[in-house]
Amino acid sequence: MATPNSDAAWVFGYGSLIWRPGFEYLQAQPAILPGYVRRFWQGSHDHRGIPEQPGRVVTLIPQAGARCLGMAYLLPQQTVTTTFEQLDHREKNGYSRINSELHLNDGNRVEGLVYIATEGNFAYLGEAPLHEIARQIVRSEGPSGHNLEYLQELAIALRQLGADDPHVFELESLAQGINTPPDPD
């Protein structure tokens, strides 16, 4: 597991950290994590679902030539340790830290920490047909709120960043269709 040092550190957010980081930072800017795509393949038993009915949240899947747009946050030196303790707790449901090069919006490249839920973790749900993932998202709720809210907030945040993420946007569209009652005729 990657560990931050006592210097200021960068962390990359590609899911809820984009719109709700929940920690102090010196700067935030859009960034690219090369070689990965965002997918709703991780189970959420502790935030957007419960053990009996897990929700689905995003993780990163390696893919040659891919570029995942998210937010990079520069943490103040004095908060690095406590911030990563908080993030370790927040991402405890199967996520591990990795170090990776981030391509910042300002043209710089920095080393940053990224939380990724890999295939071998206990909460990993993996690939499924998008309509099944959408149904699971619509019916799941946990201590942090409804899973649909997570999907909608992520889609809004990605649009604000100018991201092109067909996986997220198609799931959003499918989920809206599930929530829409049939027209009375």
* Active-site amino acid positions: 91
- Phi, psi at residue 134, to the nearest 5°? -60, -45
- Phi, psi at residue 123, to the nearest 5°? -105, 5
Residue 153's CB: how many other CB atoms inside 10 A? Answer: 16
Task: Tell me which amino acid residue 39 is.
Answer: R
Per the CB < 8 A criterion, the answer to whether 60 and 38 are in contact is: yes
Rounded to whole angstroms, what are the CA distances from 68 to 40, 93, 146, 164?
14, 22, 25, 9
Per the CB < 8 A criterion, the answer to whether 100 and 109 are in contact is: no
Please tell me the distance from the alpha carbon of residue 33 to that of residue 66, in angstroms, as a whole number.
Answer: 9
Where does residue 68 rank: exposed (0-12), middle (13-18), buried (19+ CB within 10 A)?
buried
DSSP 19: H
